[in-house]
Amino acid sequence: MKLPRVYPILDAATLARRKVTLPDAAAALLDAGARILQLRSKQHWSPRHFDDAAVIAALCARSGATFVINDRADIAALLDAGLHIGQEDLSPADARRVLGPSRVLGFSTHDPGQVLQARDEPVSYVAIGPVFPTKSKARPDPLVGLTGLAALRAATKLPLVAIGGITRDNVHGVLATGVDSVAVIADLYPDPSPRPCTPTLIRDRMEQWQLLTQN
């Protein structure tokens, strides 16, 4: 799989704090040229979450972008979406049985052993992190850092997504390690001060990311 340079994550908790709906944020990112979106919700999936996911799936289909659901293989299958799983979710082999052979399957890793193990799994890409300190996870794994990221890049030929604390200020150093893509959460959704976070601001931020990461 060829990953786009920027991999935006629609984090439900972050967007709720910013008072922006998931579909509105998705539409803004797609308008700015996003080619992949991941919906991440660590809370209970209510009917409203599913309805939002269905709307985003339709928006992605209309834009020709890949839609990925975090953790929930059942919802990914229902919406004909890709899936991203972690070390404590379904195994990649079991997730592939749910998804079928052709859908995108991402897999989170955090250390050399996990990256090496992933080489033999039926996954489309591997995420590695956290590269830098992050507030997006309640209990983050130990930092990988740029030196560790470069070493892990050399350990596998699978497409790699770097994640964790990546901003417009440090992204060039991350891409210099040879990773294929960078996942972004907080730096796409400005803090609601001094002005509110709006879909327009999200679109503008995504456009900045696209310009910064052009090959």
CA distance 189 to 91: 31
The reported pLDDT for the residue numbered 45 is: 85
Pick the CATH number of 6-66+104-212 from 3.40.640.10, 3.30.70.270, 3.20.20.70, 3.10.20.740: 3.20.20.70
Q: Where are the domains of the chain?
A: 6-66+104-212
The pLDDT tens digits for 76-126 are: 999 999 999 999 999 999 999 999 999 999 999 999 999 999 999 999 999
For all residues of the chain together, what is the average pLDDT?
Answer: 94
Q: Which of 160, 210, 173 is nearest to 188 (CA)?
A: 210
pTM of the predicted structure, to 2 decimals? 0.95
Q: Can you read off the two tokens belonging to residue 36?
A: 């992949």
pLDDT (tens digit, 9 = 90+) per residue, 34-60? 999 999 998 878 898 999 999 999 999
Percent above pLDDT 70 for the chain: 98
Cα gap 58→14, rounded to integer Å: 22
